[in-house]
Structure 1
């Protein structure tokens, strides 16, 4: 498929950012898809710590990081808009 470049005006990005996420659901998504590399408490493991990540990256930046696969070995992850909103909401609690 090649690289998929997203802009803040992308309909997916706009859709995600227009939703209110549920941090409890986001935690469940994180545990299933991210904790293996980032640690169960997002403290870092194979992947970096995500503690305070929402203070370092914008919502757009976090979405792009998750779905792009631009930083190997992190794989592309294609959650629905609601799942991504939930994941962002959880990341904001870290």
Structure 2
């Protein structure tokens, strides 16, 4: 009879291991799916296909972003954008700028070349 509790414990451990493996597999597939979906977005592909110009990006920033982020991007109503490209990916920045999901930041519907210019400028901060 002593063998039966050991067998039950082993079965429970196997179930936990299988559940953990299933969870890890689902997480990896989900992350890969989101990554693929973001890179498959035609707008993102168009932005990445254009070489941005930081000077034009600065002009776009001054007209559309400086009111909240400050003329030197040090923050005002919106946060400082200094070294933002070291904290956020290009995809994340594109999503942030175009989505308007973080009020009071409005949606900014930039053309792919304007977005590439803005991203180039942000890299200089």
Q: TM-score, normalised by structure 1?
A: 0.92
Greater helix share, 1 or 2? 2
Counterpart of 2:89 in structure 1 is 58
Q: Residue 92 of structure 1: SS of its match in structure 2?
A: helix
Query: What residue ranges of structure 1 are gaps of 5+ in the alignment?
Result: 1-5
CA RMSD of aligned residues (A): 0.9
- The correspondence for 2:57, drawn from 19, 26, 32, is 26
Higher relative contact order (CA 8 A, sep 6+): 1
Pairs within 5 Å for 1:14-93? 14-93=45-124
Separation in 1, partners of 2:80, 2:48: 23
**Larger Cα-atom Rg:** 2
> How many aligned positions are there?
89
Whether the aligned pair in 2 keeps the contact of 1:17 and 1:59 (CA below 8 Å) is: no
Counterpart of 1:9 in structure 2 is 40
| Alignment deviations for residues 36-58 of structure 1 (CA, whole Å, 9 cap, x no partner) | 00000000000000000000111
Counterpart of 2:33 in structure 1 is none
Separation in 1, partners of 2:91, 2:51: 15
Q: TM-score, normalised by structure 2?
A: 0.70
Misfit runs of 4+, over 3 Å: none
